[in-house]
Structure formats: C-alpha cells, structure tokens
C-alpha cells in the first residue's frame, strides 16, 4: 500500500500516514509558468495499492486537476488499484438541476474521476448520499458523526443537549448524531423567504427553551444560515448554541461572521485545509478525521469491512 497526496491538504495526508505508520510517496506536484499542473512520481508504484489523498476545496478547480493528473500518472505507472480519497467532494452541491439549462456538475466530476482511472472513491459526508450513485465504481461515504459524538460526550457531558438541524434537508444527518448521543431530542430550523429580497423567517420545530443546542451540518460556506439559525435558537430560549460541521469551506467573510454571531463555538473537521483566518478566531475549533480515514484506508487495503466502522 502507498499513500500519495496533492497540495490540497498536506497536513491531513501526513496525519493519515502517521496513523498507518507509512511514509507519503515521494512525488512532485507543481505548476508550469502558465499554471498547468505537472505530476511526477519518484517511486516505483507498479502493482501497488495506491491511495491518492486530495480534497477538492478552494481553489476547487486547481485541486480537482491535481487529483485527476495524479490518478492518470499512477494509471500510466501500472499501479494495481487506485483509490481516490476525497475527504471533501467539491461540486457536491450541484447534484441536480435547480432550473432549466443548468448542469449537474457533481455527476460530471464523478465521470472525470472515473475516466481518469480511479478504481474506487472514498469520501466523507457527501452533501447528498445519492452522489454515490453518480460513480460507476465502488464508493465509500464515511461519516464524521462518530468523531463528533465522541467530542461532544467528552466536552459537554451532563448538559441538557438537543440536536438541531439548520434546515429540513439535514434532518437525517441530525437524527444520526442524536442516536449516538443516547437518543438526544431533535429540533429543526425551518426557514423560508416571504418575498424575494426579504430576509429569511426562521421557525423552530421543537422545544429548545433552556437546552444546550448542538447544530449539525455537512458544509459551512458563508456561515449565514448557521449564524441565523443560532440567533433564532437563542431567541427561542436556548441556553447555549454550538455548531458541529463536517466541512469548513468558510469562504469570504465567514470567519468574521461566526466571530460576531451568537454561536459559542463552531467545530469543523480538517477535511479541508482551513483558511488562514481560522487561526485567529476564538470561536472556531478543528477536529481531526485522520484516524477515521486512516482506519478506512487500512480496511480497504485489507479487504475488510468499512461499514462496521459505524456500528
């Protein structure tokens, strides 16, 4: 087994290698003067089971091209099996046609990864589970819920916890976490716009008064929805609000928005290399998923069960 990484999240790749007691495969992933990506592998990978670790967060297109070219280089170097380990699968929010004459970009990216030569895909908390069906190769969708629930139990034991989904679409994810927290009660933030251009109206489904609210979501991008949900929960009488999110995209002024919000804390995983602003935030904390990914990689290489990780 060999591990190869692009430039998207070298810290996570190094941590996974440390968990597996392996060295990262020696390779050059660099740019020509015109920003074309060039990959050169400096070790023999013939007949090897190779895992390419590369999230496709910002800059999404550059990181995606690095992933595709790494896969192509491995395929042309006669690797036996190539697994694309994509902790954060970019373009996942474009998983359907929201209107006429629009693309389904998540399916296009799935096709690109498959045609490049990947034999398997490993990801974490896909925005929509159905994206697994976009691939014609085996695809494992890991869940950060076990890592989150362990952290919540360690830090907030004894609190009057309620798990909250920031929108109706995230109820399944929130319910999964609540089961791991000894069947903690569940609430939902229902949001809608009365008219175009007007701010969202938030309705809370469930009783959050006097409770310690755990907001859970898969992606935090601008952080607008999360911060508005936190404010609505506080207005409904919540004792405190903490958010746990799998993928911290945090684009634009998201970090400043979180710092100025009623959220007590935002916990994100290291599926994406966090933006520099996160280091200066007193409210954002990083949770590693390196052991989760490392164990899944080990089980794939050993041909043992991955799903039993979540039993």
185-216: per-residue pLDDT in tens?
A: 999 998 776 665 554 767 899 999 999 999 99
Residues of the chain with CATH 3.40.50.2020: 2-143+291-310, 145-288
Q: Is 217 annotated as a binding residue?
A: yes
Q: Is 246 annotated as a binding residue?
A: no
Q: Convert the pLDDT of each residue in 33-69 to its tens digit.
A: 999 999 999 999 999 999 999 999 999 999 999 999 9
Which CATH number, 3.30.70.20, 3.40.50.2020, 3.40.50.1110, 3.40.50.720, labels domain 2-143+291-310? 3.40.50.2020
Q: Is 193 annotated as a binding residue?
A: yes
Catalytic status, residue 191: yes
Give the range among 4-8, 104-108, 200-204, 225-229 with minimum mean pLDDT.
200-204
Q: Is 80 annotated as a binding residue?
A: no
**Residue of 75, 191, 283, 298 with catalytic role:** 191
Total residues belonging to the chain: 311
The reported pLDDT for the residue numbered 194 is 61
The reported pLDDT for the residue numbered 209 is 95
- Fold entry, domain 145-288: Rossmann fold (3.40.50)
For the entire predicted model, the pTM comes to 0.93
Q: Is 232 annotated as a binding residue?
A: no
Whether 247 shows a pLDDT value over 90: the answer reads yes
Q: Is 256 annotated as a binding residue?
A: no
């Amino acid at each position: 087994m060999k591990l190869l990484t692009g430039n998207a999240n070298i810290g996570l790749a190094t941590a996974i290698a440390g968990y597996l007691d392996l060295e990262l495969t020696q390779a050059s992933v660099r740019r020509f003067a015109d920003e074309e990506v060039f990959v050169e592998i400096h070790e023999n990978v013939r007949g090897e089971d190779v895992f390419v670790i590369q999230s496709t967060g910002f800059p999404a297109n550059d990181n995606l091209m690095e992933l595709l070219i790494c896969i192509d280089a491995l395929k042309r170097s006669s690797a036996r099996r190539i697994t694309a380990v994509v902790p954060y699968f970019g373009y996942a929010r474009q998983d359907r046609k929201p209107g006429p004459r629009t693309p389904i970009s998540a399916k296009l990216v799935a096709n690109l990864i498959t045609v490049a030569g990947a034999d398997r895909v490993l990801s974490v908390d896909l925005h929509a589970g159905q994206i697994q069906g976009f691939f014609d190769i085996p695809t494992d969708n890991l869940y950060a819920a076990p890592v989150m629930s362990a952290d919540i139990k360690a830090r907030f034991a004894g609190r009057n916890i309620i798990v909250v989904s920031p929108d109706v679409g995230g109820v399944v994810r929130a319910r999964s976490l609540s089961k791991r927290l000894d069947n903690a009660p569940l609430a939902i933030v229902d949001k809608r716009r009365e008219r175009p251009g007007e701010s969202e109206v938030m309705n809370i489904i469930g009783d959050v008064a006097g409770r310690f609210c755990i907001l859970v979501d898969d992606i935090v991008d601008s952080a607008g929805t999360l911060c508005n949900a936190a404010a609505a929960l506080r207005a409904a009488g919540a004792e405190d609000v903490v958010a746990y999110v799998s993928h911290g995209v945090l684009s634009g002024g998201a970090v400043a928005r979180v710092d100025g919000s009623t959220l007590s804390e935002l916990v994100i995983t290291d599926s994406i290399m966090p933006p520099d602003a996160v280091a200066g935030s007193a409210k954002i904390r990083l949770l590693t998923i390196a052991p989760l990914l490392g164990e899944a990689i080990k089980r794939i290489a050993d041909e043992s069960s991955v799903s039993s990780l979540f039993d």
